[in-house]
Amino acid sequence: MVSCLPHIENGFHLDKIELSTPTVFTEASLAEALAARGYKLTQPRRAVLRVIVEAGQRLNPAEIHTRARKVYRQTGLVTVYRTLDVLVECGAVRKVHESDGCHAYALAGEGHGHHVICAKCHSVMEFEDCNLADLFKAVQRRTGYKIEGHWLELFGQCPTCRRAATTNR
C-alpha cells in the first residue's frame, strides 16, 4: 500500500496568506448534487458522502473506503472513486495533489481555491488568493506555453499543531 502523507516543504511563511471561510457542505447538499446529475442515492454513496463531510481533513480514496465501510459494510472502492469523480466535477470536492504523486480529496470552498495542508495532523484549509498572474506571464514568455490552469498546495503546520509543539517544549 502506498503511503499518501504530505512531505514538509520548507521556505513558506504562511502567516500572510488570507484563508477563505469554507463553504459548509452537508451530506444532504452533496446528495442533492449527485441526484441533480442523475445518480441514485444508494447506501454506499451516502456512506461516502458522510465520511467526506465528517472528515475535517483531506482523505485518500483508501481512507474514505475504510471509513465508509464502517458506515455501510457493502461500500465498494469503485463506488468511492465514482462518487469522488462526480463531486469533483460539480465542484463540491477538490482533489489534493500530494508531493508523492498520490491524490487525496477535501471539501471545496467557493470559487477558485487552493489548499494549505498540515504536515502533522493533515487538516486542510482552503485559500483563494494565489496572485500568480505575473508568474504566468513570465512563464508563458520564457516557454511559449499558453497557461490554461494550475493548482497550488502548500504544506506546513496548522495553528493547533504549532501551539501544541510550543506547549510541549
Express each pLDDT in 90-112 by its tens digit.
888 888 776 667 888 888 765 56
Sheet with 114-118, edge to edge strand ranges = 124-127, 114-118, 153-156
pLDDT of amino acid 55: 87
Percent of the chain beyond pLDDT 90?
A: 37
pLDDT of amino acid 15: 32
pLDDT of amino acid 94: 82
How much is the pTM? 0.61
Contact assessment for residue 14 and residue 116, using Cβ atoms and an 8 Å cutoff: yes
Rounded Cα distance between 92 and 97, Å, is 16
**What's the Cα-to-Cα distance from 2 to each of 5, 15, 57, 102, 103, rounded to whole Å?**
9, 32, 19, 8, 11
Length of the chain: 169
Give pLDDT tens digits for 43-89: 999 999 999 999 877 899 999 999 999 999 999 999 999 999 999 88
Q: How far is CA 29 from the centre of its chain?
A: 17
DSSP 122-156: -BEEEE-----HHHHHHHHHHH---------EEEE
Contact assessment for residue 16 and residue 32, using Cβ atoms and an 8 Å cutoff: no
pLDDT of amino acid 111: 53
Identify the CA nearest to 85 among candidates 110, 67, 64, 100: 64
Q: Where does 17-127 show beta strands of DSSP type E?
A: 93-97, 103-107, 114-118, 124-127
Domains in the chain, please, with CATH?
A: 23-167 (1.10.10.10)
